[in-house]
Amino acid sequence: MFNLFSQNSISLLLSPLLILLLFTGCESRFPKKKEFIKSYTLINQDSSRISFPGYFKDKIVVMGFIFTNCPDVCPITTNKMRLIQEKIKDEGISNVEFAALSFDPERDKPSVLKEYAEIREIDLVNFHFFTGEKNQIESFLRRVNVVAFVEDTSYTDDGEAVYFFAHTDRIILIDQEGKIRKEYPGSQVDIKEITEDIKYLGG
């Protein structure tokens, strides 16, 4: 007679449930899955051209969006990324790269990005700062749904217009296949949450 409560039958009943829970758990952790449908040419802080996302194949990427003339929000986002980088290193995870993309390519030349990184003592071993041709950056931003537009401008006595952007405050998590899996508020990202997400992706 079939014993409904025998150990084997309970296992049989629970297995599909566990599989379902595993998948729904993954979906709730990563509700988004967006691909880059083409490659983008980006230029790093050393003036090297790279093809994104191919350059980071098989790596998990934490990407933030900044402009170096920003005195307040973008340094917070950059610092958050630095703290995530430190945490990941402390946890012994080695397949994660960090990328800060400037949405101000006219002013953020590679040398400017390099200086921005150096003054903040950022470890550039797996942390990259990117700029690029204006059309490439604009196309990239559209794909990741990041908006940046000039809003506030101050004028120095010698007539320079120093402009500041209003922009989407965002960090994105990209998996080993180059797919965007999750978005976070850049300057307020929860370091514990993103670290757990990185581990969940296999970091």
Partner 1 sequence: MFSFIFLLMIFAVQQDTLQIENAWIRPSSKGMNSALYFDVKNSTDDPQTLYKVESDIAKLVEIHETYKKGDKMGMRRVESVVIKPKSTFRFKPGRHHVMLIRLKQELKEGSEYEFILYFKNRGEYKIKVPVKRTN
164: contact with partner 1 by CB under 8 A:
yes
Residue 90 within binding range of partner 1, rule CB under 8 A: no
Give the CA radius of gyration of the chain: 21
Cα 188 to Cα 184: distance, rounded to the nearest angstrom: 8
Whose Cβ is closer to partner 1: residue 22's or residue 147's? Answer: 147
Q: Which of 43, 60, 63, 73 binds partner 1 (CB under 8 A)?
A: 73
Q: Which is nearer to partner 1, 120 or 192 (CB)?
A: 120
Q: How many residues bind partner 1 (CB under 8 A)?
A: 35
Q: Which of 181, 99, 177 is nearest to 137 (CA)?
A: 99
> Which of 49, 120, 134, 142: binder of partner 1 (CB under 8 A)?
120
Cα end-to-end span (Å), the chain:
48
Q: Kindly state whether residue 58 participates in binding partner 1, applying the rule CB under 8 A.
A: no
Structure tokens at 62: 């934490």
The upper half-sphere exposure of residue 168, i.e. CA atoms within 13 Å in the direction of its Cβ, equals: 16
Q: Is 110 in the site for partner 1 (CB under 8 A)?
A: no
Q: Please identify which residue in 3, 16, 90, 157 interacts with partner 1, judged by CB under 8 A.
A: 157
Q: How far is CA 12 from the centre of its chain?
A: 41
**Short-list 26, 89, 22, CA closest to 62:** 89
Q: Which residues bind partner 1 (CB under 8 A)?
A: 68-73, 75-76, 79, 83, 115-116, 119-121, 147, 151-152, 154-158, 160, 162, 164-170, 185, 187-188
